[in-house]
Chains A and B, each alone.
Chain A
Amino acid sequence: MEAIVYGHFTDELELLDAVKALKNKGIRIADVRTPFPVHGLDAALKFPRSHLPKVAFAAGIIGGSLGLLFQVWVFTEGWPLNIGGKPYLSLPSFVPVTFELTILFAAFAMGFAFLLRSNLGPGKIPNILDEEVTNDHFQIILSAKNNNLSEAELAEALEATGALEVKHINAEK
């Protein structure tokens, strides 16, 4: 594990100010962990846009077309049923299933893509640095490796932004 320094905050506005202050100093932030989504954090961190919507769109198209094609096949080739004297290929009646399968595929693809991308999943042991993040603390994580600064300097910068507690995790551990 690389050498990192992290600081805690108890208020999301203080956290946002701290993130902006660190960014202004040119310090790279490895990660920020929060107990709930913080508005404006992505923009403050200058993170690129997530690709999740594209995954959802592609999966939705696949799900919708598969659903539609399957119904067309079932009602014309696989097991044609005469329902109320309607033609076998009755598109209006395929709408609900197509709609549901679009949503099903998009939702599952988004869920799995998120787990995959975030390195999460069943049986994974999460790398929680401090139990307090699961309660009410906001955590800024700095890594010495990608900053060209010593840990002491990083800790100093974090303290200057008003972090409550600043802790080190050393590479040796």
Chain B
Amino acid sequence: MMEKQNIPDPIPFKFGKKLKTYLGIAAGVGLLALLIAVFVQQLPSERIWANLWMNALMFLFLGLGALFFWTVNTLGESTWQINIQRIMESMGLTIPFAVILFLVAFPGLKDLFEWTHTEHLDKILQKKEAYLNLPFWLIRFAVYFGMWSFFAVYLRKMSVKNDFEPHEKYLGRLRATSGWFMVFFAVSSSMAAWDWLMSIDAHWFSTLYGWYIFSGMFVSAVAVIILITIAFRHFGILPNVNGEHLHDLGKYLFGFSIFWAYLWISQYLLIWYSNIPEETVYYVERVNNFGTIFYINVAANFLFPFLALMTRGAKRQPLYLAVVAVIVLIGHYLDLYLAIMPGAVGHENASIGLLEIGLPFFYIAAFLGLFFIFFEKAKPVPENHPYFIESSDYENI
């Protein structure tokens, strides 16, 4: 076993000017795409709102998925993740800022959600009104964000406190709070998926929809963690991250891509089999009018990572793993597109154009900017964590 003094010291991360300029340019590109879409192309308003909504969701999913990943590992007392823990902590801290992005899209709620037009609800929506009404929806929105933000901030606080004043009470609180987060997340992640995505097609329902969205969220977050880990390792910020860490992250990407496919086929198969019009309407719309994206979705999110990440070498080769992570990330963006656009915009107006490709750059820049600010604030690795040595020196069997 390694001694602590033999472990190389990380280079403190500096959110430099060059990096800020790059992010600024990316954000500018995104805003420009939005402005062109609004003023030059004059796209229908629901397409603009749907894009803002979609990107806000993706932004939230990355932070929330990372927070979930960290709490799972904390709860499982896993040692391997200590070296990349600060990445997940900092990603989790972006959750409170996602509120702003959601609020930006709020004026478009009437365009996005049919059930908000309370004056002419049909019979099915009248029955759902006890749950799907704007005041209750807003209360739930506030509760989800309040709780998630609280957990993200509190857990980070405990983790950083342990840096300066190592004490097992902080680690105990980390563990216990992770458990409570897990309980809340189990319910809230499903309910948020109903509220923000499933209710776009308000007449349709699927019982495993929450899980389906969760699995996509988790895979996207793991893909981003992989990309940041590889970049930080390349620049020497995390010198203790080695092939073993990448191997473990790659296994998560591989395994949960299969899990996503499992839920995808479970949802599709049952609806296809029972062939009830009120359920099949969801897939009929997507297969007939969004056919290409529908099949690309399955190929990019299941077939590709399944075959590409099968071997051990693939998960340990940084550049290769990064390319796979990028493709899977794009795949899950398309998955979200497929969940929102057919219902919110309709096939007459929806397409992938400048707005869909350009706008994400603003959100990527915002996410990375916030992430770097938070990552800079603490040590790159929690050096006083009792598992730190083991995390720097372990091997996969």
Contact = CB atoms under 8 A, between A and B. Distances in A.
A39 B394 contact: yes
Interface stretch (A89-97, A110-118, A150-158, A161-169): A89-97
Contacts of A74: none
Given A13-B1, A53-B311, A92-B268, A84 B394 contact: no
Interface in B252-297: 265, 268-269, 272-273, 275
Contact of A53 (B265, B312, B394): B312
**Which range contains the number of A residues in contact with the other chain?**
10 to 19
B395 interface: yes
A84 B314 CA distance: 44
Interface string A90-108: 0011011000000000000
Interface in B299-337: 310-312
A76 B268 CA distance: 23
- Per DSSP, chain A at the interface is helix
Interface string B371-397: 000000000000000000000001111
A34 B273 CA distance: 51
Contacts of A43: 395
Given A39-B397, A84-B275, A96 B1 contact: no
A123 interface: no
A92 B311 contact: no
A116 to B, nearest CB: 21
A53 B265 CA distance: 26
B395 A93 contact: no
Nearest to B1: A13
Contacts of A13: 1
B395 A92 contact: no
A95 B262 CA distance: 10
Contacts of A37: 397
Interface in A64-93: 84, 86, 92-93
B169 to A, nearest CB: 29
A37 B311 CA distance: 21
B310 A93 contact: no
A49 to B, nearest CB: 8
B244 to A, nearest CB: 10
Nearest to A44: B395
A40 B310 contact: no
Interface of B: 1, 265, 268-269, 272-273, 275, 310-312, 394-397
